[in-house]
Every structure is written in structure tokens, then in C-alpha cells.
Chains A and B, each alone.
Chain A
Amino acid sequence: MGKKKKEVDDRFKKFGTVSFTSISKVNDFVDYLEQGKIMATKCKECGTVFFPPRADCYQCLKSDMEWVDVTGSGKLVSYSKLEYGPVGFEDDLPYSIALLDYGDFKVFGRLAGDIPEDKIEVGMQMKAEANKLPNGQLNYVFHKA
């Protein structure tokens, strides 16, 4: 009998069309995404909200975080529609990467594919929503608020 293989928590490999990270202390983010929730972390010591979520607060040097919902809407800071993509993203093309400003934090992601380009304007209000990709992976996309 060989040694029992240690179970690896690699949930993060489900994030995005292609994930380049499998193990992270914020793996719960992926479970929340599966439940349709986009979550940030909040430092219990100083109250700073982090998006993308962090396991550690560089200000307090504490690692005591709670999960908080990303709610409401954010302002579209900028976006770009890609005609070429990296290996592994060919089936998604064309797609647009974008950044939303929620005030206390910003969220980097993708625009929902069904928004016509002439309806997109820098400064418009949008909201991030969890999204299941055709290949079974998870991400989030921005819709008009």
C-alpha cells in the first residue's frame, strides 16, 4: 500500500477561460462565483476592502479577512475589443476586456458579449455578473446597469 495522496485544493483553476493559477488562499472566490456571487475580501482589522480579493493585508500585516459582496454598479473606465487573443482564447474572439470603477475599488474583467459596440461608452454605469463559460470554466462579465 502506497501512501495516501494528499488532497490538493486547486479550485482556482476553474477561474477564467484559461486559468494560470490553481492554488490560492482565496480559492473560496471560485465557489462564490459558482453560486453567482462576486466577492471581495475585507480586512477585519482596518476595514479595507480588496478587489481582487487578497488573503493578506499589507497595511496591518494581518491575514484575517472576511468575504463581502461586490454589489451595485461601477463606472466604465475603459475597454478594448481584441481581434487577436492568446493561445487558448481563440474560441472567445472577438471579446472586450474592460475596467469598472466602483468607488472604493475597481474590477477588471470582460464586457458581456451581447452588448453592441455602439452602445458602449466610457463613463457608463455597468455591473459585474458571474458567468459560466461554454468550456465549463467560470468568470464574470459586465452588463449595462
Chain B
Amino acid sequence: MGKVGIIGVGQSAFVRGYPGSIRELAFEGFKECLEDAQISAKDIDSSIICSSPEYDKQRSPAGVLAEYLGLTPQPTCYLETLCSSSSMGVRMAYSLIKSGLHDIVAVIGFQKMSEISSAESQERMGRGADIQWESPFGTMMPAYYAMYARAHMAKYGTTSEDLALIRVKAATYGQINEKAVYRKPVTFEMFSDPESPISNPVASPLRVGDCCANADGSSCVIVANEEKARALCKKPVWILGLGAASTSVNMAGRDLFTGLTVGEQAGEQAYKMSGVTPKDIDIAEVHDCFTIAEMMAYENLGFARPGEGKELIKSKETYKEGSIPINVDGGLLSKGHPIGATGGSQMRTIVLQLRGEAGEMQVEDPAIGLVHNIGGVGLYGNVTILGR
């Protein structure tokens, strides 16, 4: 069996309050992707539509989007693993192609978080956990990640200042990414300025500046077998390794609170499959829904030893000019996090980097890139390794 490659990537701008419906939102990422791949919808054998259903008014969006994008009568289906849905979509596309069932598969991620009112969204956030045993205590996403931050601080001496440095880095690149929702600068001083909203506590020890923004957005990744990829694409990017894992949704069922087991396990699988090590990675996109999540990703993926992630950000090694550039597109912290679209957007960044087409964000001649995408509070994890 031959290789599997990515022949097209696209995404909409990530925005607050997208002025259109979900099908129109999905069209934006899809259009950019088709233009990038220079193919048409009829060339695509199957589509996988990825989002998180709690934000959708539309039941079973796959059929609606497939029709709008001209992807009927080809098979389509809906896939969700919360925030890692579209990375899981690429994994499924790989499998459909590797099996020989299809030659070209489109993975379309979208989320219109503003589809529902703020009150409805609040209500759903309360259910973003084990609804029988945890939500009745009044849980929220930032508070769960805050518990990881607290445990990391207690064990390794990590500080809120270390975490703030991650947001400062994200904002550095968010300012030069025209697709990002948050394009303002964030300085280290803003975290200690009571006048700045960045310093407002959300769930101790995390502050507003430690949290990514909700956004509306869409993404698309077109995956093809080796023959099609070579025939259609000048610079195909190959899927070298895939890893995926899950764990207990309830915190009581977990043993590690200073890292995410799903990130570790998915990373190990992807490294093994691709035959590369953390040292071989030239650029990475990691799931920074909160600053602590990026810190843990450094350690879970082997870029730093457990507890030493803070050294990586202090020495600016994860900046564009550093030894392992990470989230140099602004990450979720600056780009925004439209749940179902996020993984596809991360893939797009790495593909553009490997092709040398990332513009102002371009790092020097990367050959191997990694995408780390987490669903829920470390409930699902996907790691994908890509190469030229």
C-alpha cells in the first residue's frame, strides 16, 4: 500500500458572530481548500463532517453541508470527538483511503458557537463533563484545566507567570495571522494589571488571559492516496504517523493530573508509526485551549521532560526562531477555538509551513511537523505527524 497525502487545506477566518448559517460558514473553508487543491467537488469520493453537536440547531448536519458543497451523491457522515473532531476526521479519512475504499476524502470541520444564545451556551458548558456525577457541582471547562494547572504548580513549581509567557507568545503571532479572532497584543505586564481584563480571575489559578476565545469558523483538509496525490498536487504533504487515545471523562477515574495521558499515548503511537522522535519535529501545533494545556503538551510530546515545560517558554525555544517552534500561528489562544474546525486549522498551518507557504509566520525550511489536538478535558487525544 502506498502513502496517504494531504493535497489541499483551507479555513475560514475565525470570527465572533459569523453573519451567516452553518452551511455558508462551511463553504468558506471548503472553497479555500478546493482552490488550494485545484480540484472540484465531484473529484471527492466521500466527505466526513466534523463538529460538536451541542452547538448545532441542525440535526445531522452532514447531509445538509454535503448537499450545499456539491458533495452529493457521494457518501458522507458526521463525526465528533469534541474539540479534536477534525483530527479524528483525518484519521478516519486515512483509514478509508488506506483500505482502498476511496481515493480522495474531504474532512470538513465547522462550528458556529454563536448559533445558540449566550445563556444556552452557558447551560451546555455546565454539561461539558460527567453530567451525572460532576456537573451537579457546577463545573466549567476552565476550572478543570485550572485543576491541572494547580497540580502542575504544586508538583513542579510552575508559576502563573510561566503560563502568562505562553499567552504572550500566542499574541505575538495572533497579530500577524489574518485568520485569527484575537489580533491585539498581550503583554506580560497585563497579567498583573488589575485594570486589564487579561488579569481577571476565571477559575484559580487561571485568568482571562490564560483562556482561548470562542469563535465561529470552518476548516477543510483533503486527503488522497499516493497515486492521486502525486498526479494532482505539486507539493503533497504525507501523513507519516497517527495516534489516538481516550480516558475516563470523570476526574475520579484518572491518575495523572500534571499532564494528559491521551496526549502522551497518542504522541507515542504517532512517533512509533512514523519512526521519528521528538527531536526530529521541526514545527508543531499543539492544543492550547488554555495556557496550561500548551505547557503540558510540551512535556507530553517529549519536547521537554515532565516539569520542565516552563524552561522551554522562558528560553523562547517555542518561538519561530527557537529549536521547536510551537503555535506560531497564534494557537487556539489567539486564533480562537471553533471546536469542530480546530484540528483542520492546525493541519492547515503545518501543511502551509511544510510547503514553505506560511508567509510572515514561516519558520526556516521545516521537513516534519506535528499536530496535537485534544478533545474535552483530555478526554480524547489525536496526534498526527506530517512530512514533505
Q: What is the interface of chain A, defined by CB distance below 8 A to chain B?
A: 12, 15-21, 24, 51-52, 77-89, 92, 95-99, 105-110, 122-123, 139
- Given A52-B252, A99-B251, are A89 and B138 also a contact pair (CB < 8 Å)? yes
A52-B252, A78-B154, A80-B203 given; 10 more Cβ-contact pairs under 8 Å: A16-B135, A18-B126, A80-B206, A82-B143, A83-B203, A88-B126, A96-B204, A97-B137, A99-B147, A108-B250
Q: Is B40 an interface residue (CB 8 A)?
A: no
Q: Give the nearest-CB partner of B248 in chain A.
A: A106
Q: A78-B151, A106-B251 known; A20 and B125 CB under 8 Å?
A: no
Interface size on B, residues (CB 8 A): 40
Taking the closest CB of chain A, its distance from the CB of B86, in whole angstroms, is 26
Asked if residues A85 and B147 are in contact (CB atoms below 8 Å), the reply is no
Contact (A86, B140) CB under 8 Å given A77-B257, A106-B251, A108-B251: yes
Tell me whether B136 is interfacial, beta carbon within 8 Å.
yes
Give 15 CB contacts A-B under 8 Å. A17-B138, A19-B136, A20-B135, A21-B132, A80-B146, A80-B150, A81-B203, A81-B204, A82-B202, A83-B200, A85-B138, A85-B140, A86-B126, A106-B251, A107-B252
B328-375, CB < 8 A from A: none
The answer to whether B150 touches A17, judged by C-beta atoms less than 8 angstroms apart, is no
Complex partner residue of A52 from B127, B132, B151, B200, CB under 8 angstroms:
B132
**Contact, CB under 8 Å: A84 / B147:** no
What is B's interface to A at a CB cutoff of 8 Å? Answer: 119, 122-123, 125-127, 130-140, 142-144, 146-151, 154, 200-206, 250-254, 257
Complex contacts, B138 vs chain A, CB 8 Å: 16-18, 82, 85-86, 88-89, 92, 95, 97, 110
Within 8 Å by CB of B252, from A79, A108, A122, lies A108
Given the known inter-chain contacts A18-B126, A83-B202, please indicate yes or no for A106 contacting B137, CB distance below 8 A. no
Q: Specify which of B135, B139, B150, B202 is in contact with A79 (CB 8 Å cutoff).
A: B150
Q: How far is the CA of A122 from the CA of B257 in the complex (A)?
A: 12
Instruction: Tell me the smallest distance from the CB of B191 to a CB of chain A, in Å.
Output: 16
Give A85 to B253 CA distance when docked, in angstroms. Answer: 23
In the complex, the answer to whether B203 meets A82 with C-beta atoms within 8 Å is yes
Min Cβ gap B143→A in Å is: 4
In the assembled complex, the CB of B46 is this many whole angstroms from the nearest CB of chain A, namely 34
- Selected from A16, A78, A98, the residue in CB contact (under 8 A) with B136 is A16
Q: A52-B250, A82-B138, A108-B252 are in contact. Are A24 and B125 (CB under 8 A)?
A: no
- In the complex, what residues of A have CB within 8 A of residue B144's CB? 80
Give the nearest-CB partner of B258 in chain A.
A78
Q: In the complex, which of the residues B130, B137, B203 contacts A110, with contact meaning CB atoms closer than 8 Å? A: B137
Which of A21, A52, A82, A110 has the largest count of B CB atoms less than 10 A from its CB?
Answer: A82
- Residues of A within 8 Å of B139, CB to CB, are 86, 97
